[in-house]
Chains A and B, each alone.
Chain A
Amino acid sequence: MNHEDFTILMSLKLDNALNELDEERLNQHLETCETCQEQWASMQSLDKLFTAPAMLPAPNHFAQDVMWQIQRRKTMKLASQGGIAAIAILLLLQVVSLPWIISNLRQMRQASFWTAMGTNLNQYLLYVFSLFEWLGRIGAQLVVRLRTPTGQIALVTLMSVILCLVVLWLVAISKSSLKNNLERG
């Protein structure tokens, strides 16, 4: 064993992790080796410096601050989930309105359509409001139920489906518009 090996044993001795055999070996070596005696004295001084060091107390109101932070993060998480649900609801609204819009696309270009719309506005608003009511209920359920890992995946899937439908809808509108322009041309 060299000096380096004995310093390892010294460190273990300070931690009370030295077996009897190694302790005996270290003690015998310390009796004869001056270099290691110095090293051991330094190590003991260091150990003394760090023995029973002061434990710092936490600042005042620490627990209240932690609880406030937890509450704030919960609220932020809920708000972001609510935001996602709101976007989903808006997209759903567009998707649900899609068949109605497509079926009335040609008529919408005519002035008579808007006159008729004015007459039927009351019925239309009722339709939209009832739709909102149902979507609002679905959104609220989403916020509550989709707070699990599986729920999050379901939400992302639903969002992706809605986005695809919206893209398809936009493509359909642009195609229809292009066709009309070609017919007119």
Chain B
Amino acid sequence: MNDEQVREQELAWIRGTLNGDQAAFTSLVDAYSGPVYNLCYRMLNNPIEAEDAAQETFIRAYTRLNTYDQKRKFVNWILSVASHYCIDQLRRRRASWISLEDMPYVQMEDHKDGPEDILMRTEAGRDVQRHLCVLPPDYRLVLVLRYWYQLSYKEISEATGDTESAIKSRLHRARLMLMQELQGGDSK
């Protein structure tokens, strides 16, 4: 299917859901569960919390689907819903600044055979996730949206509700922080 067909299919599911067709919404969940779960996991760094957050995202999307602007990409809209939810969760958790030494490896080992365990077995995957957790939530979010979803500054600003210049600045600072962290890690 090309992009246009995908878009048409997506809009058909959305209209179906708005008309009360639950199977249409199930199809939407199936189509976007991966990107939403991935974002939640990257942000929260915990498989159980990520699953709960992803579920909550879709429940919110279901109840607020009538507010969705059909001119926007659905994936960007749902990622925006997930982003706001994860940021709220992280602010509640108050664990935005965790040093690399304090990173909970045990947490990952609690859920064997999960997708995150497979990822964590590779050194690069483990490094990426560990470095992400060094960043404050707002910085982590822009980095995830930029690298995992290849969103433009404009799309990130739509998803987060911040200005494009704020996004540029946040992305730049996030990179500087990561570089410092990487250099610190190398010297240890």
B35 and A55 form a contact (CB under 8 A): yes
Nearest A residue to B164, CB-CB: A17
Closest-CB distance, A52 to chain B (whole angstroms): 8
Contacts of A63 in B (CB 8 A): 26, 29-30, 33
B54 and A46 form a contact (CB under 8 A): no
Contacts of B26 in A (CB 8 A): 63-64, 67
Those of B7-66 within 8 Å (CB) of chain A: 22, 25-26, 29-30, 33-38, 41, 47, 51, 54-55, 58-59, 62
B168 and A11 form a contact (CB under 8 A): yes
Flag A60-74 by CB within 8 Å of B: 1 or 0 each: 001111110110010
Q: Given the complex of chains A and B, what is the CA–CA distance between A44 and B169 in angstroms?
A: 18
Q: How many residues of B contact A (CB 8 A)?
A: 43
Contact with A15, one of B54, B125, B171, B178 (Cβ below 8 angstroms): B171
Nearest B residue to A39, CB-CB: B179
Whether, in the assembled complex, B183 has its beta carbon less than 8 Å from a beta carbon of chain A, the answer is yes
B182 and A46 form a contact (CB under 8 A): yes
Q: Given the complex of chains A and B, what is the CA–CA distance between A36 and B61 in angstroms?
A: 45
Q: How many residues of A contact B (CB 8 A)?
A: 32
B55 and A66 form a contact (CB under 8 A): yes
Whether, in the assembled complex, A43 has its beta carbon less than 8 Å from a beta carbon of chain B, the answer is yes
Contacts of B176 in A (CB 8 A): 7
B179 and A43 form a contact (CB under 8 A): yes
Closest-CB distance, B24 to chain A (whole angstroms): 11
Contacts of B172 in A (CB 8 A): 7-8, 11-12
Pairs across A and B, CB under 8 Å, 17 listed: A11-B171, A15-B146, A46-B175, A49-B124, A53-B128, A55-B148, A56-B38, A57-B34, A58-B54, A59-B47, A59-B115, A62-B37, A63-B30, A64-B26, A67-B29, A70-B59, A73-B59
